[in-house]
Amino acid sequence: MAIVKTIRPGLIQIRVLDLDETLEFYKNVVGLDEVGRTSDGRVMLKTYDEFDHHSVVLRKAEEAGLDYVAFKVMDAETLEQIKVDTEKFGYAVEEATDEQPGFGKRYSTKLCTGHTIQFYNEVELAADYPMLKNPDPWKEEPRGMRAQRFDHLLCYGPNIAEAERYFIEVLGMFAPEVCNTEDGKRFATWLTGGNKAHDIAFVEYEQPGKMHHFAFYLQDWNDIGHAADLIGKNRVKRDVGPTRHAITRGQTIYFFEPSGNRIETYAGGYAAYPDNPQRVWDVAEVGRGLFYYEGELIPSFLSVVS
């Protein structure tokens, strides 16, 4: 399936409480590479397998959580069209002015759920990117959890039905899987702009702008086990797993980094096609949907957010 408008979530900026301790964790436990620092001291990171300049930015702050996530779109024309369509949809758009080295023009908007999202098309290649000519799987053996890419995120906030409509109508995405309450209202939605099972997901929640987790893609179930070993070895606060989702079918382990942001390392997942029928979950069954081996919800999972 061809990607219509939105290629991927390619950049995420996270607030951290202790920059040094948290950076150490992302580099040595998750296995990201430090790309550099912005003039105001934010740290840019990327995985070994990503091409673009950087994908994760850590900003030292008084609160943990998500600053914003930015989606890379097909071309410059699509970027301008998304700006116009976002305004038509009813969300104000402004050009992002915070420094992101290597990135071209970025537009920024705030969703009804309280989350800031951005769009961009231009971004420079990283100084160190994967091989192109007769390529090995990696140049240097990956460290830590061997994260391959920033994969997706799950946001908590109010009125996710409207946010879902925005991603579909304006960003050309679709929802392969959803979960509804007993009275038919949207409780959760999983959205993708391409073949991945999800690029972004939402759960209905009273407080706006909350991040449940963001995720890195790992190679397979073996690497999930390897991540679990590193969680044990480094006394990381594990949340859930290793287990499997029925929703998206991915294999997974969740844990908290030192500033309390939840991270998922995720492998597998089905290929999503926009012509396939949508899978629908009842909220009463969502525990099984999320944690297929446990068959029930884990209390921390729905209520702990940053």
Partner 1 sequence: MEYKVTDATTGNTFMADENDSLFFAMRRKHEGPITYGCGGGGCGACKIEILDGNFEIFKKMSRAHVSEQEQDSGIVLACCVKPKSNLTLKKFSQK
Q: Which residues of the shown chain bind partner 1 in the complex (CB under 8 A)?
A: 17-18, 62-65, 237, 239, 256-262, 299-300, 303-306
For the CB of residue 299, give the shortest distance to partner 1 in the complex, in Å. Answer: 6
- To the query of whether residue 273 is one of the catalytic residues in this protein, the response is no
Residue 115 known to be catalytic:
no
Do residues 254 and 263 make contact, with C-beta atoms less than 8 angstroms apart?
A: yes
Asked if 245 is an active-site residue, the reply is: yes
Q: Closer to partner 1 by CB, 207 or 222: give it.
A: 207
What is the closest distance, in whole angstroms, from the C-beta atom of residue 263 to partner 1 in the complex? 11
What is the smallest separation between the CB atom of 18 and partner 1, expressed in angstroms? 6
Residue at 6: amino acid letter: T
Catalytic residue among 26, 166, 205, 254: 254
The CB-of-225 to partner 1 minimum distance in angstroms stands at 22
Q: Which is nearer to partner 1, 145 or 171 (CB)?
A: 145
* 109 vs 259, beta carbon nearer partner 1: 259
- Indicate if 198 belongs to the active site: yes
Long-range residue pairs from 276-280, CB within 8 A, at least 24 positions apart, any chain: 276/176, 278/175, 278/176, 278/177, 278/178, 279/176, 279/177, 279/178, 279/247, 280/177, 280/178, 280/179, 280/180
Query: Residues 53, 54, 212, 213: which is the catalytic one?
Result: 213
State how far the Cα of 127 lies from the Cα of 48, in Å rounded to an integer.
11
Q: Check 198, 204, 205, 212 and give the catalytic one.
A: 198
The answer to whether residue 53 is catalytic is: no
List all residues 6 or more positions away from 277 whose beta carbon is below 8 Å from its beta carbon.
none
Phi, psi of 240 (to 5 degrees): -145, 145
Q: Which is nearer to partner 1, 18 or 99 (CB)?
A: 18
Smallest distance from the beta carbon of 304 to partner 1, in angstroms? Answer: 5
Q: Are strands 186-192 and 174-180 parallel, antiparallel or unpaired?
A: antiparallel
Which is catalytic among the residues 152, 156, 177, 204? 152
Decide: 90 and 80 in contact? Cβ < 8 Å: no
Q: Which amino acid appears at position 92 of this protein? A: A
Please say if 162 is a catalytic residue: no
* Cβ nearer to partner 1, comparing 65 with 287: 65
CB atoms within 10 A of CB 285: 12
Cβ partners under 8 Å of residue 291, min gap 6: 240, 241, 243, 245, 297, 298, 301
Residues tagged active-site:
152, 198, 213, 245, 254, 264
